[in-house]
Structure 1
């Protein structure tokens, strides 16, 4: 590479890096609700055992009743047909002997890596499975009866079918009782290979030619079978030799082989003649690409559409530091992949090992099925032209989802039909920290419905499997298997919360007053996945039901009775407000009053803090706003203690999740209350909608009984808005007194000025002043001088002044600067 080209590339790379750093379009994807491990709002079924570890491979039966688990030194058969439990039906132990372990240790391997880790687990036919394991760095394979879990007497050598190292990724799939694998074929892991095994009759086992450089240090991810194409697609990442970078540049690939391939007659004997590969480019505009593929899943075409409308959804990360800690999801269409493979191919110069665009005449179409009967000239052309010139770009030329907070490791995808018969795509994404994200793809972008913690402490995820007929997800980690229902509709107990979830699985049934799963038998369900509009979606709900369970505005009655908080004056009061979701915004209101920033402090967790004074006593309402919908989350009545004896706040709710208001002593008024991190987020403290609405219902039921409970000298809680009649009378009297005082003083000043103008000898002292003693005159002069200098009433035996309309008066109703 010339120095000019190198400088240009460095400048381009720096420019792209700066653009990525300054990109304002990367928004934060926050799950609406979050369920910690063991949360009652999200029921998980776990299976674990003291002798079970490293569940690296999962295989689900066609009926969804049995789950086969490939673990360390064992294969398990789990009964997953029961709703609340996962039962162990049988277990097959398959571990290396002591001699095998000793040989593994002598090869320089750690004893922790020498057991038999199951890496291939596939159905061979209707009665048997084909299983392969690392077996102390000497891979072996065997047939296992899928009903009795018994192994055949003879085992096969697993070289080229299973990796040696348990940490190396591989892929395997059985089609037509033939095994197609992508793995390494040597002990050191330097010979990557895509091969076919278990061929019979006229068909022969095939593999890639090691000397051709068809694979460059790959990491195999997955393999998918396309029936109508009779092709198998392999997905992996490798070093991109077509880029002459200083550092190794990783690229993601899709490759294909034809199942009908039997190799060439003279050229490429027992080698693939239909192998071709292309780059998968997960990139948005001019940003740096997410170039390292982590996982991929296939979404079949919708009913009534073309068979080529298959979508491949993949997780990608980046080797660039600017995208460190981020993940992106891209989708690719089968139509686009086929178009790339039918286009032009690059040519590799064997002498210089440089790739270039094709200039000579095209002899054959690389990747085309049926080339095993082609001429030697055509096969030699295919042998050197296997890299497509163009890259496969994502559907819609944009990224499906980008997360800057989470690194996703596995995904699975499902198409869901909502209540309005519209189809939505739902992604289930697993993070490296052991959390499951459920996201729906909308026109305006991705929306994460919920987050579920799968394990605590977090465990590395080994496998993920989806059972669409049963509506279940299965997650395998280093310690066991977790089953998670795909739908969680019963968590939402109001029509508003059911609609705001925007879950295409769920809709509000007005007849049963419950959020239920959408099915073909359900009609007229309240649901709005696209917009989450509560008012429109809940129109079918009766007025009575809406008032009881989910009022969209302030209740028609004054308000339900809330929680009584007894405080002493000058105490610091903190009122907590539970969040309806992690996307909601909390706000506080007082009836007929404004929450001034001088008196009130809004904390980050949504709580309200203030000092108890006569002006701050009264009712407080905490409201939650989400997507234009407002609901009352908590109601408090702050009152002064009737006696100096400490009282405990009396609560008239049955909520155990809402934090109690805290009161601090008078010393707390000297410092500003500390702003704490959100402690009421659903992730840390689950606050279910069911509990909140039960609180509101209980408040309404006890509304009529509270009047008698608080009649003994305490203000009634039956009215949401306190009476300010006494305050109005006091303010009116003070205003009248001040006006009268001002008029009187004004008239007195005018009268004194008129006397001085009309009295003779106004420059000489009066007789009355002459009668004063020298001491009295000196004291009067000092008082007048101090009043003029400080503008204050002189200290003495007079009463303190009263400020009225900006004028300062004393008890004698004379202005301080006016002589007696």
Structure 2
């Protein structure tokens, strides 16, 4: 019997002693001028050489091209607090003072010079349009209902596309009405039905991407199609048409006519099919060797063998699943089974009006009743979406430190032909993993390059495991850094730690790090900036140190 796969050990362990010198952002404007509000970072975003940091009661901007010496400072700040009356009302409804603030949960680009922001507002969410550089508010306050959660602990995603805001969140005080919602554009606004478990059941939204004719929502939810003791959480991808105009007064009025969903599978194929069930993070669509791909991080469920994995999904394969068989439950307690093809309307529903196989209809309003009635009751696909190669690209089991966030560089190395993923964990660790297939097989193998102890409790001023959880990762390839956000600080981490190998050629070559190379002229391991023209030696594929002296 084959041994249970535990994954690789890192080539290089980087201790906190080394990373304690990395620059930290704490929400200060200048040295000696402190912020009265402790940071509680919700998300970050990079745009036009500006790093945006959305936190509790504040949004900050950081100029990434400034050379900071001891600490990273902001140059623009928007303070956005709820009124004292709102805070008091929030507390009177039984909430703790800690959550009765304005947690900025939506920070996205709306247009060239406009950002769209939303905050929880002490359980009274609201949104604004603000100017990109100054953060100055424009226009009137916009209701945050359906666009931003009331409770800061609830998950949410949001993205502008085609003149609409697409959001996924809980839309009520009790977090009982979760929805996927399109709004703030030409009518109609569309949503998933209220509290219908066959559409969504206790979802936790992870990411949304705009791709082709569709918006894709990635989330966890409780599976209604599986009967087990307790609740089984599964990972999903759902798809809606961007040109969906809803149904008719008879069926799906002001609701999605194109909403379909499928399970995301990330597993170790075996007799037991060991699953990484819980989706944690998803990238935007990236292109690798002509394939449009998203990477996703998963963890095992709470009562399973502890472990984490990264799986990659080809967007074409996702769409193939959405063209497959539907799944249904005929009666309340019956098993879920595939819908026979002869019981699926013709032309087949689930796609966009004006595109095959529904090209004869200009709008979803024109769909016949049998198509609309079918889509009101059938959303789940029978087949799940398998990862590329039907195996995790990277995995580690039997370790309690689980990965959640992910950022990917798809053009690493001197030939720009390697993929490097940076994985953020619950314990303040950053894992750096590289694809070793290069120009060969597509995402076939990976190597675990580094485990980096990033969190600095002294600089970040908070201790404990909760403070160590990585909230967000933002890759800035031009400056060769990764911005790693925790709740109470943000740390600027170089993509490579070539200085650790110093003048030891063997250590430099065997590190297999695509960002580092042995430069003969200086006789040291050096960070390789794109196009700097230095002559260097590397062995990314094999890390062969034969014939080189030990150091």
For the aligned pair, the TM-score class normalised by the smaller chain equals: 0.7 to 0.9
Change (3 A) 1:299 1:500: farther
Give, in whole Å, the separation in 1 of the partners of 2:146 and 2:7. 43
Structure 1 residues 291-306: aligned runs within 5 Å = 291-302=277-288, 305-306=289-290
The structure with higher relative contact order (CA 8 Å, sep 6+) is: 2
Count of aligned pairs between the two proteins? 506
Q: CA deviation at 1:518?
A: 5.5
Query: Alignment partner for residue 289 of structure 1, among 275, 288, 303?
Result: 275
Partner-residue secondary structure (3-state), 1:449: strand
Change (3 A) 1:454 1:176: farther
Map of 1:140 onto structure 2: 126
Change (3 A) 1:475 1:523: closer
Give, in whole Å, the separation in 2 of the partners of 1:520 and 1:417. 12
Q: CA deviation at 1:353?
A: 6.7
Map of 1:438 onto structure 2: 432
Q: Which moved more, 1:205-214 or 1:189-198?
A: 205-214
TM-score if structure 1 supplies the norm length?
0.59
Partner-residue secondary structure (3-state), 2:509: helix
Map of 1:3 onto structure 2: none
Q: CA deviation at 1:449?
A: 2.8
Map of 1:504 onto structure 2: 514
Change (3 A) 1:473 1:275: same
Change (3 A) 1:485 1:365: farther
Give the gaps of 5 or more residues in structure 1. 1-21, 536-550, 554-630, 633-820
Output one character per residue of 1:543-595: Cα deviation in whole Å (capped at 9) or x when no partner: xxxxxxxx834xxxxxxxxxxxxxxxxxxxxxxxxxxxxxxxxxxxxxxxxxx
Partner-residue secondary structure (3-state), 2:215: strand
1:527 maps to 2:511: no
Q: CA deviation at 1:281?
A: 1.1
Q: CA deviation at 1:28?
A: 5.1
Q: CA deviation at 1:376?
A: 1.4
Q: CA deviation at 1:270?
A: 1.4
Kept in 2, the 8 Å contact 1:57–1:119? The answer is yes
Structure 1 residues 196-595: aligned runs within 5 Å = 196-200=182-186, 203-210=187-194, 212=196, 213-226=198-211, 229-266=212-249, 267-285=251-269, 286-302=272-288, 305-306=289-290, 309-319=291-301, 321-323=303-305, 325-349=306-330, 351-352=332-333, 354-359=335-340, 360-363=342-345, 364-370=347-353, 372=364, 373-404=366-397, 405=399, 406-419=401-414, 421=415, 423-442=417-436, 445-456=446-457, 457=463, 459-493=468-502, 494-516=504-526, 517=528, 519-520=530-531, 522=533, 525-535=536-546, 552-553=548-549
Kept in 2, the 8 Å contact 1:292–1:318? The answer is yes
Kept in 1, the 8 Å contact 2:191–2:255? The answer is yes
Change (3 A) 1:320 1:99: closer
Map of 2:32 onto structure 1: none
Kept in 1, the 8 Å contact 2:505–2:548? The answer is no
1:31 maps to 2:10: yes
TM-score if structure 2 supplies the norm length?
0.87
Give, in whole Å, the separation in 2 of the partners of 1:43 and 1:181. 39
Give, in whole Å, the separation in 2 of the partners of 1:103 and 1:427. 44
Kept in 1, the 8 Å contact 2:209–2:285? The answer is no
Q: CA deviation at 1:509?
A: 2.2
Change (3 A) 1:90 1:534: same
Map of 2:103 onto structure 1: 117
Map of 1:618 onto structure 2: none
Kept in 2, the 8 Å contact 1:436–1:454? The answer is no
Q: CA deviation at 1:299?
A: 4.8
Kept in 2, the 8 Å contact 1:276–1:366? The answer is no
- Flag as ranges the 4+ runs of structure 1 deviating above 6 A: none
Kept in 1, the 8 Å contact 2:105–2:119? The answer is yes
Give, in whole Å, the separation in 2 of the partners of 1:451 and 1:288. 28
Q: CA deviation at 1:211?
A: 5.7
1:131 maps to 2:117: yes
Q: CA deviation at 1:523?
A: 6.5
Output one character per residue of 1:639-681: Cα deviation in whole Å (capped at 9) or x when no partner: xxxxxxxxxxxxxxxxxxxxxxxxxxxxxxxxxxxxxxxxxxx
Give, in whole Å, the separation in 1 of the partners of 2:329 and 2:256. 18
Q: CA deviation at 1:480?
A: 1.9
Change (3 A) 1:351 1:248: closer
Give, in whole Å, the separation in 2 of the partners of 1:431 and 1:527. 29
Query: If each structure's strand is expressed as a fraction of its own residues, which one has the higher value?
Result: 2
Partner-residue secondary structure (3-state), 2:431: strand
Give, in whole Å, the separation in 2 of the partners of 1:247 and 1:479. 35
Partner-residue secondary structure (3-state), 2:267: coil
Give the gaps of 5 or more residues in structure 2. 28-34, 359-363, 438-444, 458-462
Structure 1 residues 531-680: aligned runs within 5 Å = 531-535=542-546, 552-553=548-549, 631-632=550-551
Q: CA deviation at 1:204?
A: 2.2
